[in-house]
Structure 1
Amino acid sequence: MSAVHRATTWDISDSENESDDIKASSSCVILDQNTSINESNTSPPSARAEDSSISADGVKISGRRRRREEVLEELEARTAAKERRREEKDKLKEEKLQEQQRRKEAAERLNLLKPENFIKSLTAHIHAVLLRDAGCDVLLRNLDGLQWRNRIENQDLPNSIRWTQQALQTEDEDKKEVIEEDQVLMVISHNELEDMVMSHKTVTNQSALIGDMCEGSESLLNHLYKYLTRTAGKVVTILVMISHQQRSGSWGEDDLDLHLNRQHLDTEELLVHLQLYWNVAVHFLFGWQEVTDHVVALTKALSKRPYKALCGDPDLGFCMDGSWSAGVRVDRDGHGLAQVWTRQIQQLNRVSPAMAKAVTSAYPSPSLLLKAYEELPSEEERRRLLADLTVVGGAKERRVGPELAGRVHRLLTSQNPHLLLD
């Protein structure tokens, strides 16, 4: 045991203790350097930022002040974004209100353009000369009974009736503008027509025949020519009143045109001249009642014109919207041919869809029906081939009948292109 103890215990000299002290001190120096390095690396970034944050002028800026500025900038950005969203929301709301207002104004305008409302804005201007005839009271009473506006006044064209309308009021206009219609009626008697014929006949040169007049002439024809020359775009219609005495006397209603053509060639020449050169039509009416009916019909037509123009009538007004007007679509595989065959039968007069369906269900194609016709020996059996087919649909069962069976037979077998199927 003592030997072992002597082996484990060493005798350390003084020199060895000094060397150990030197090593320990050097190691302590090294640890102190590493510790300082680690402390510098593990120091917080804010502290480093505070130490390194220096302005361009060389003045150091604290981290707390910089963070306050960033918060203020972020707050200002949020406020600006919130304000932009509020402005966009207000703008959308304003646009929505404007759109609603435009729709409301459009609906009101459309309502005003309807014939029953637009006719209230029309005013019939009647020349004062027409009041000399006692029969004009019929016209005035009818206009007053319909509660239509009318006015008695002197006009450029004698014996005339014209119409004006009040334009729709807009926001910028305080007063409504008056628009004059292009339709004008000229009511004259048969004697005045004869005076116009004589005035036209006295003009002998060719230049006057196309519209030039003598300066001294003051007939109704001269006034008419001046009016048409001065006002372009007017459509004048002359209403010639024939009294009941003339109607029951020498002229009848049926032979009036024949009388004009054979006995009054000068009158016919004047009518042709007015129609070709001035686009003036002449109508012969019997009494003020027929004149009143013509005025009422023309007033109603003028009241319907704006609404029809707004709606935009199609070019082919008789073609209604629907699946039938577009035809039947036939695919390349033949899908749709059965419906085409049904439509062909249905095009015949007095053929319902149920009757056409009964024929095409028994014979799905024209070739099968033609083949069935060829197999029958007599013509009578061929005509009555489809007569006993049952028509499905309706309150009770019924047959196709011999009449339709015969028409279908003539449709498929006749060689005459001008043959009537009915």
Structure 2
Amino acid sequence: MDNMDVIELSSDSNDSVPSVNTSSSKPPALHILDDDYNFPEVPFASELPAAKKYTDSDSGAIFKSNSDIETELFKKYIGEKSRSKETVNASSKNDKELTRIEKYRKAEEAARIRAEKAAAAARLKSMQPGECMNYMQVILDLGFMNFNFFDTLITELQQYELVYKLKSQIISNSVTWTRSEEKNSEHVTGGIKSVEDNHIIVVWDYTETVKKVASDTFVTSIDNIQTSMPGKVTTLIVYGMENYFRHHRNLKKMQVKNLCLGSFRDGKKRRGSKAFEDLPVISRKQLELCLIEVQLTLNCNSQLIESPHGLGQVIGQYTKAIAEAPFKIHKKQMLQSQLDFYAAGDNKDTVKVDKDGNGLKRLWQQQLCQFNLARLETAEAIISKYPTPSHLMDAYAHCTLSEGMKLLQDIPIRRTAGPITNVRRIGPELSKKLYLMFTSEDGNILLGND
């Protein structure tokens, strides 16, 4: 192969066949100058660098790095899951705490409501007529100890079973009242507090009364009392004036008698006359004018009392009236809130009906007696045929207008028992009124002129 035949080609201008040189020589190196044909050199396999061989340690490092990545990812997942769990636990704890606080608040609210209801029930019980006197206390001024009837007055108050207390007050010789009530506020429930009533009684004996009437300071003194005790309902009690007037009346009679007999002896003086003689002389008319003036101008009631028994009775009556006042006011408000109108005399001619129905017949009889032409025997005659209002209403339901108006007119009425008893009928007038009363739907219709 080394002695290869080399063929030389040459180009001439003529078209002759070129000569072929068949000499044996090495071919010349190719020199290609065109840059478009410059290809990169490709090394042979022998010239390639040796391939990097990985050992077990290197492969372990590779696997270790992958494990680290997985560990980091796992830790990150576990961390996020832990944080999520902690958040859920914190939220659950907050919910439990809020639930516990809400339960505690509801328990406190329920306890407060129960306490308020218990206080209201106790307060309502304390207003009952049978219980209210136990919560009242009478306050007497220390000036009563200077009266000669003080011991008798205390005895009278004890007989009325009144709780009293001696205490110095702004107005001398005055009587006031306090009431024990349950405390009930936003922060405090229970306990007892003392509430002063707005009524006051001022007691003047005959000495003070006569001096004020004679000096024309009677009305001014009452005005000063009301000014110093604003909001108080004042009642004036004048004690012992009748003895004063009796003394001057007897003295005047004695003077007339001595004048007629021609004797000017003063006569035997009675016990206690010295105290009356040292006082100015006033007439009963002057005193009555002063009492009327304070009543009209100052709205001050007055009363003349002549004995310790009478004074103790007045104090006892005032105490009872003041104690029962809240219950009566509460009852009136309840009636006004439930009904558009109510009978003012609700405790007059009333009929008690128990849970067993006892008293219903008496109530039906009382209802019939409200008509002008109906008396007890008339009501009994109607009840003998129609024992209840429903029986009468059923009878009216099966009647025409004319029949209903005449339904009761022929019922006989017996006034007394016996063979010669007069019998009369109910009559058409009362029968018509009863029919209109129980069947009319017009509330403004008039039953009659009677």
1:185 pairs with one of 190, 201, 208: 201
Check conservation: 1:138, 1:289, Cα contact below 8 A: yes
CA–CA distance in 2 between the matches of 1:118 and 1:105?
21
- The CA deviation string for residues 80-125 of structure 1, in whole angstroms up to 9 with x for no partner, is 2321231122112211331243234324533257147775554422
Shift of 1:64: 1.8
> Which of 357, 364, 370 matches 2:402?
370
Q: Residues 219 and 294 of structure 2 are in contact (CA less than 8 Å); yes or no, is this contact kept in structure 1? A: no
User: Does the CA-based 8 Å contact 1:163-1:181 persist in structure 2?
Assistant: yes
Residue 296, structure 1, aligned to residue 323, structure 2 = no
Map of 1:418 onto structure 2: 449
- RMSD of aligned residue pairs (Cα, Å): 4.9
Q: Output the CA distance in 1 between the equivalents of 2:411 and 2:204.
A: 65
Match of 2:144 among 95, 115, 130: 130
Equivalent position to 2:286, from 266, 271, 278: 266
Identity, in percent, stands at 15
Alpha-carbon distance between aligned partners in 2 of 1:312 and 1:284, rounded to the nearest angstrom: 32
- Does the C-alpha gap of structure 1 residues 318 and 295 become closer, same or farther in structure 2, counting only changes over 3 Å? farther
Structure 1 residue 177: Cα displacement: 7.0
Q: Hey, what does 2:226 align to over in structure 1?
A: 228
Distance (whole Å) between structure 1 residues aligned to residue 98 and residue 165 of structure 2: 55
Q: Secondary structure at the match of 1:316?
A: helix
C-alpha separation between the residues in 2 aligned to 1:371 and 1:172? Answer: 68
Is 1:163 the counterpart of 2:177? The answer is: yes
The residue type paired with residue 215 of structure 2 is S
Q: TM-score, normalised by structure 2?
A: 0.50
2:222–2:294 contact (8 Å) kept in structure 1: no
The 5 Å alignment of 1:237-316 reads 237-241=235-239, 264-305=284-325, 313-314=333-334, 316=336
For the pair 1:68 / 2:78, whether they are aligned, the reply is yes
Does the CA-based 8 Å contact 2:409-2:427 persist in structure 1?
no
| 1:134-213 map, 5 Å | 134-144=148-158, 148-165=162-179, 179-190=195-206, 192-200=208-216
Q: 1:225 to 1:372 in 2, by over 3 A?
A: closer
CA distance in 1, matches of 2:134, 2:309: 23
Does the 8 Å contact 1:239/1:284 carry over to 2? Answer: yes
Q: SS in structure 2 opposite 1:314?
A: helix
Cα distance in 1 between the residues matched to 2:287 and 2:133: 36
Distance 1:365 1:249 in 2: 80
**Does the 8 Å CA contact 1:112/1:118 hold for their aligned counterparts?**
no
Alpha-carbon distance, 1:402 to partner:
4.0
Using the TM superposition, give the Cα deviation of residue 282 of structure 1 relative to its aligned residue in structure 2, in angstroms.
Answer: 0.9
Query: Residue 338 of structure 1 corresponds to which residue in structure 2?
Result: none
Q: What is the alpha-carbon distance in structure 1 between the residues aligned to residue 77 and residue 223 of structure 2? A: 94
**Structure 2 counterpart of 1:233, one-letter code:** G
Counterpart of 1:407 in structure 2 is 430
Unaligned 5+ residue runs, structure 2?
A: 1-65, 250-282, 343-363, 371-378, 414-423, 437-445
Residues 177-196 of structure 1: CA deviation (Å, up to 9, x unaligned): 76532211012345644444
C-alpha separation in 1, matches of 2:142 and 2:368: 58
**In the alignment, structure 1 residue 96 sits paired with structure 2 residue 116:** no
Q: For the residues of structure 2 that align with 1:129 and 1:222, how far apart are their CA atoms?
A: 21
Partners of 1:157 and 1:223 within 8 A in 2: no
The answer on whether the counterparts of 1:160 and 1:186 sit within 8 Å (CA) in structure 2 is yes
- Give the direction of change, closer, same or farther, for the CA distance of 1:224–1:186 in structure 2 (3 Å limit): same
1:383/1:406 contact within 8 Å kept:
no
Residue-by-residue CA offset, 1:286-321 (whole Å, 9 max, x unaligned) = 522232222123223333455666788236389599
* Secondary structure of 2:289's aligned partner: helix
C-alpha distance in 2 between matches for 1:243 and 1:100: 61
Whether 1:385 and 2:401 are equivalent positions in the alignment is no
CA gap 1:137/1:74 in 2 versus in 1, 3 angstroms: same
How far apart in 2 are the matches of 1:249 and 1:221? 25
Distance (whole Å) between structure 2 residues aligned to residue 404 and residue 185 of structure 1: 58
- 2:88 equivalent to 1:78: yes
Q: CA deviation at 1:247?
A: 11
Q: Residues 241, 183 of structure 1: CA spacing in aligned structure 2 closer, same or farther, 3 A cutoff?
A: same
Q: After TM superposition, give the deviation of residue 160 of structure 1 in Å.
A: 1.3
Which residues of 2 match residues 37-56 of structure 1 at below 5 A?
none
**1:147-176 deviation line (CA, Å, top 9, x unaligned):** 644232443323211224567557679x98
Cα distance change of structure 1 residues 97 and 318 upon mapping to structure 2, 3 Å threshold: closer
What is the number of equivalent residue pairs in this alignment?
A: 291
Q: Which residue of 2 aligns with 1:357?
A: 390
2:57 maps to which residue? Answer: none
The whole-number CA distance in structure 2 between the counterparts of 1:86 and 1:303 is 52
TM-score by length of 1: 0.53
Q: CA deviation at 1:273?
A: 1.7
Letter in 2 for 1:295: I
Question: 1:22-33, aligned counterparts within 5 Å?
Answer: none
Report the Cα distance in structure 1 between the residues aligned to 2:428 and 2:246, rounded to whole angstroms. 55
Check conservation: 1:128, 1:153, Cα contact below 8 A.
yes
Cα distance, 1:249–1:410 mapped onto 2, change above 3 Å:
farther
Q: Compared with structure 1, are the counterparts of its residues 238 and 365 closer, same or farther at alpha carbon in structure 2 (3 Å cutoff)?
A: farther
